[in-house]
Amino acid sequence: MEDFVVSARKYRPISFDDVVGQTHITSTLRNALKSKKIPHALLFCGPRGVGKTTCARILAKSLNCMSPSTEMEPCGKCESCVGFQTSHSFNIHELDAASNNSVDDIRDLINQVRMAPQVGSYAVYIIDEVHMLSQQAFNAFLKTLEEPPKHAIFILATTEKHKILPTILSRCQIFDFKRITVNDITGHLARIAVKENIEAEDQGLHIIAQKADGALRDALSIFDRIVTFSGTSFGYQQVIENLNVLDYDYHFKMVAMARDAQRTDLLLLVNEVLNLGFDGGHLLAGLAEHIRNLLVVDRPETAKLLEATDEVKERYVAQSATIGLDKKVAMLEHIAQSEGQYRNANNKRLHLELSMLLLVRLLNPDPGPGTEGEKSQGSQSPKSSEDLRPGSSSSGAAQALSQEKEVSNSGTFAASSGEPQEIEKKHEAKVEEKLPPPIEQPKAPPPDSGDQETRDKPRRRQAVSRGLSIKGIQEQKAAGDINWEPKAKESFTKEALEAAVHDFCSGLSERPMLQTLLSQCLLEQASETEFLVVLHYGGQEQSFDEVRQELLAHVREKLSNDFIEFKTEVRVQENSAKPYTNQEKFEEMCRKNPALLELKTKLGLDFK
């Protein structure tokens, strides 16, 4: 059997011209070779399969090539180039840091660096997956990487630059490789297909390039797989069948059915996709990408962002022209939200079908002839996709409001029920239930009910019992509704005040934090009616302000004194160190009872 070599190895670039999609890297390296300004340490970083190790090998060959071209390409015929191509080079060394990541491996490398190259001018050391080195290995490598011998050049390659120590990064010239575009991968695959005498459709190659996600090595692996599956000729259908990719034609059909309000056909199409084995989340993700493409081709300036063949681009442009820009934005927002909610949905199929039906409603706010219920729902155009999400409260509220208006305003609807008066009464009862109860104004006392102090006290009690806020009392006072002036001033003791505060605390069972705060705080009398509330830290002051007015109202009413006031003061308690050893405990006891020290001296006692 003939030895088979995969395309990723068979068509691996051997010169800078062969490197795909990394022109910014190859141009810089060529200019450095021409000007002979090669740094002693280079770091190639980027995603997998984009050409990091390949460029490192080409650079190493060019450095030691005895007869390079004018563009500094290796000749491939000299002793150094032939030795590298046959894996017998003594001046180009490759080290896999994933399997040689210890300090001893780096020490062996450092000892090897001291030896001058036998052939060529430079000893090049390519360290792949350098981020796998241990912390100790990085530290051992620092000095040599910063000041290597003149003949040594280090080329480091990694896919995870963030894992490399900053001290290593500062000693290297960094080259960032980018993902290869879909068009570049498609063109490269087309050239390989011609060399291999394989007939491949552009759409099929384009799907392979999209599936590779910017990695040319992955694209070549998929290409070999498709060739093994299909033979010397394959097209779009063979590619999507082998890669289990949902045909984009389904997305075109779904959008067209939603636009034309073909609900039944749309649900049948969704069922067909699910029967093919595709997940609902995969369908929503593909549909979101499709709507994004429709939005991209809406303007010529953004049409270049669409990565597709010319035939597919024409289909996108044609369908995009039939849908307005606002609707496309709303569609994309709705599908994106549905995709996020799909992961947490219990009934995923129901969620998917409901998302499709809401998409129809979004594109058709004014449906055609149908039932009376459909007309009433479709007559109101949703303002945003928030109103269309499953479980949205705004949609139900709008329908309820519409029905309520019909009950109250439409005589036809009332007449059809046969009991218009009863329906009207029920409606009025519902409206009355929704209205808040009226606030009772305090009744004026009779003119001969006693002195002025006795007459004003009930009005103040009534205002407090209604639970009005201070701002509300001030507003009513300004309007003349109540006469809020302190009148009662009966004498009381501090014990009576503490009892009133304790009685107020007993009613705070539903607010345990405030109850604990008031029960633990200290009360100090500052004047006849002014008391100081001593708190232990600043956070308690804000909590006390929440209940200050309620406490004042309760205490004033309990003690019949409207002049009582509370002020707060924070006194942070100093945490004195507790005695730990026996010596410290004895000293603490002596402070309280000095006779213990005299007793210890007389008896000659000591600690163990």
Of 155, 159, 40, nearest to 95 by C-alpha is 155
* Rounded Cα–Cα distance for residues 3 and 414 (Å): 88
* Rounded Cα–Cα distance for residues 53 and 44 (Å): 8
Question: Residue 30: inside a domain, yes or no?
Answer: yes
Identify the domain boundary among 228, 243, 258: 243
Q: What is the DSSP pairing of strand 92-96 with strand 123-128?
A: parallel
Mean pLDDT of the 330-347 span: 89
Q: Could you tell me the CATH number of the domain that includes residue 223?
A: 1.10.8.60
Question: Residue 480: inside a domain, yes or no?
Answer: no
Residue 581, number of CB atoms within 10 A of its CB: 9
More confident residue, 426 or 160: 160
Both 48 and 166 in one domain: the answer is yes
152's tokens = 């040594």
236's tokens = 């779009």
Question: Residue 226: inside a domain, yes or no?
Answer: yes
Residue 573's pLDDT is 57
Beta bridge partners of 199: 233
Of 214, 146, 136, 147, nearest to 182 by C-alpha is 214
Give the contacts of 73 (CB within 8 A, at least 6 positions apart).
15, 16, 17, 62
Q: Could you tell me the CATH number of the domain that includes residue 507?
A: 3.30.300
Q: Could you tell me the CATH number of the domain that includes residue 122?
A: 3.40.50.300
* Rounded Cα–Cα distance for residues 219 and 8 (Å): 9
Both 19 and 110 in one domain: the answer is yes
Both 153 and 16 in one domain: the answer is yes
Confidence class for position 154, pLDDT limits 50, 70, 90: very high
Residue 603's pLDDT is 81
Of 410, 408, 404, 380, nearest to 394 by C-alpha is 380
Question: Residue 102: inside a domain, yes or no?
Answer: yes
> Cα torsion at 556, 560, 565, 566 (round to 10°)?
-50
Domain limits for position 199: 182-243
Of 219, 249, 218, 223, nearest to 238 by C-alpha is 223
Task: Inform me whether the pLDDT recorded for 33 exceeds 70.
Answer: yes
Question: Residue 20: inside a domain, yes or no?
Answer: yes
Residue 577's pLDDT is 60
43's tokens = 């770091």
**Is the four-CA dihedral 382, 385, 388, 393 of positive or negative sign?**
negative
How confident is the model over 568-577, as pLDDT tens digits?
Answer: 887 765 555 6
Number of independent structural domains in the chain: 5
Both 49 and 134 in one domain: the answer is yes
Q: What is the DSSP pairing of strand 233-234 with strand 522-525?
A: unpaired
Helix (H) / strand (E) element for 153: namely strand 152-158
Identify the domain boundary among 141, 159, 176: 176
For tokens 């109540």, the residue is 482
Beta bridge partners of 290: none
Helix (H) / strand (E) element for 175: namely strand 173-176
Mean pLDDT of the 302-323 span: 86
Both 280 and 224 in one domain: the answer is no
Percentage above 90 pLDDT, the chain:
14
Both 225 and 289 in one domain: the answer is no
Identify the domain boundary among 191, 208, 243: 243
- Tabulate helix, strand, coil % of the chain (nearest 5): 55, 10, 35
How confident is the model over 414-445, as pLDDT tens digits?
Answer: 333 344 444 445 444 444 444 455 544 444 44
Question: Residue 264: inside a domain, yes or no?
Answer: yes
Both 261 and 348 in one domain: the answer is yes
Mean pLDDT of the 268-291 span: 90
Both 294 and 412 in one domain: the answer is no
Both 336 and 414 in one domain: the answer is no
* Rounded Cα–Cα distance for residues 267 and 248 (Å): 17
Both 294 and 353 in one domain: the answer is yes
Q: What is the DSSP pairing of strand 522-525 with strand 530-535?
A: antiparallel
205's tokens = 């190659």
Are the CB atoms for 174 and 142 separated by under 8 Å? no
C-alpha distance from residue 311 to each of 206, 314, 316 (Å) = 12, 5, 9
Confidence class for position 385, pLDDT limits 50, 70, 90: very low
Confidence class for position 480, pLDDT limits 50, 70, 90: low
Q: What is the DSSP pairing of strand 173-176 with strand 41-45?
A: parallel
Both 55 and 98 in one domain: the answer is yes
Question: Residue 593: inside a domain, yes or no?
Answer: no
Mean pLDDT of the 587-604 span: 80
Both 414 and 359 in one domain: the answer is no
Question: Residue 476: inside a domain, yes or no?
Answer: no
* Rounded Cα–Cα distance for residues 347 and 3 (Å): 52
* Rounded Cα–Cα distance for residues 317 and 319 (Å): 6
Are the CB atoms for 245 and 239 separated by under 8 Å? yes
* Rounded Cα–Cα distance for residues 92 and 109 (Å): 13
Residue 45's pLDDT is 92
* Averaged pLDDT score across all residues of the chain: 77
